[in-house]
Amino acid sequence: MQYDLIVIGSGPGGYVAAIRASQLKMKVALVEKAELGGVCLNWGCIPTKSLLKSAQVYNYMKHAADYGITTDCEVKANFPAVIERSRKVAEGMSKGVQYLIKKNKIDHIKGQGRLAGKNTVEVTSDGNNRSTITSKHIILATGAHSRELPSMKQDGKHIIGYREAMTLEKSPESMIIAGSGAIGSEFAWFYASMGTKVTLVEYLDAIVPLEDEEVSAQLARSFKKMGIKVMTGASVEAVKVKDGVCTATVRTKKGEEKMDAGIIMSAVGVTPNTEGIGLEEIGIEKDGEKIKVDEFYRTSAEGVYAIGDIVGGPALAHVASAEGIICVEKIGGLDPEPLDYGNIPACIYTGPEVASVGMTEKYAREQGMEIKIGKFPFSASGKASAAGEREGFVKLIFDAKYGELLGAHMIGANVTEMISEIVVARKLETTGHEMIKAVHPHPTMSEAVMEAAAAAYGEVIHL
């Protein structure tokens, strides 16, 4: 069958691209071998947030007395029910994507898609049934999968990745998590909240190493306070499993240490899904593991595009969606603006939450920039005190000469909802003084943004 556009992969890059193309009156086919919505909706962003919400509610209930609430019964976590709720949430979101695909008159073709020549996609389904479809334009949006280290060969039972971590039958007594990025840190917080003794192992010298140093230090303190053992400058060198117990050899700056745990989880990043999709068939160039594209996601092969985790930007759902829209609008003859990768927000949904955008203080100083820094702690926020969420702060970085907002780094309750204000402010080239004069509602956590801007210019009121 002939289409205007074929999209391979239905994650937040693929299905969004398909819908935008349909809005632009293209005849679209969406090829997906698994559940609609990809990893994000089914095994990533959405179900993990369900798990984290359950953990948050459990923590609230355990500390109800802090809010003047007493109960006559012991609060317990029903771990299988927590997992079941997460899976139902994911299933509901996937059905939502099915509805959107049908509503926008997109042909959903179930199967494994691969490039099979110019303008041609071969789809393999139900074993070895093969069919071909053609289109002038093809978008690859095949996503990524959990990266495996040779020292941590996953068996799906004792040594696991993020998928297995979302469907365990019970919360283990102990767990070692290798890698402290968003995935590792979120699961560390979740399982520690459920009562698991968690050890978080990070190869670099700080957890969440892409974040501002002060944010990283605060999160480490918060983790240690709740009982998580944080090991930085360390790596899991080997794992042996005997009688259901995992023994990890962890290399530290002081030497090797043997550690036992019921489960070891690998959270050391993801690997792009570029194998088996026919790149070699039509000579598509790669840059390392990822596909080389231009600013509108055109590959080296005419009529073939790539977006999301298989190209060079951050492996984030909202990035994939933005790339898909820009790519399709360019195909459709519009004049989209290339994506500004310097203004992409990053969020980590731990307790406290972490959110950031733009330059860190360290990076700005390394570039030789003259900067002003404003920082406002939530301990000085009336809303944070009333909510019992006094941990964390908002930190803003400004260019000293022109007042340009270079970056924002937040750690605290609900900061993943607050970071969008900063993204819009930077998009509109807002200055520090404009932020100070923008009246924020009281009492709110977001007042800390205004106060941090004021702190940078010596005008803060509540410090």
Quick one: how many helices (H) and strands (E) in the chain? 13, 24
- Calpha distance 194→198 (Å, rounded): 10
> Is the pLDDT confidence value at 2 over 80?
yes
The pLDDT, as a whole number, for residue 282 is: 93
The pLDDT, as a whole number, for residue 1 is: 78
Answer yes or no: are the C-beta atoms of 150 and 125 closer than 8 Å: no
> Is the pLDDT confidence value at 269 over 90?
no
> Is the pLDDT confidence value at 402 over 90?
yes
Angle between helices 213-225 and 182-193 (to 10 degrees): 20
Q: Please give the structure tokens belonging to residue 197.
A: 């003794």
Active site residue 137: no
Average pLDDT over residues 358-386: 97
Q: Please give the structure tokens belonging to residue 140.
A: 């690859």
> Is the pLDDT confidence value at 127 over 80?
no
Q: Please give the structure tokens belonging to residue 442.
A: 């009281």
pLDDT one-digit tens code per residue, 150-187: 888 888 899 999 999 999 999 999 999 999 999 999 99
Average pLDDT over residues 57-70: 94
The pLDDT, as a whole number, for residue 151 is: 83
- Calpha distance 324→22 (Å, rounded): 13
Residues whose CB falls within 8 Å of the CB of residue 43, separated by 6 or more in sequence, listed in order: 90, 162, 163, 166
Using CA atoms of 204, 206, 208, 212 in order, give the dihedral in degrees to the nearest 10.
-120
> Is the pLDDT confidence value at 319 over 90?
yes
Answer yes or no: are the C-beta atoms of 211 and 409 closer than 8 Å: yes
The pLDDT, as a whole number, for residue 403 is: 95
pTM: 0.95
Q: What are phi and psi of 254, to 5 degrees?
A: -95, 0
Question: Which residue in the list 137, 158, 409, 442 is annotated as catalytic?
Answer: 442
Q: Which amino acid is at 80?
A: P
Average pLDDT over residues 8-12: 97
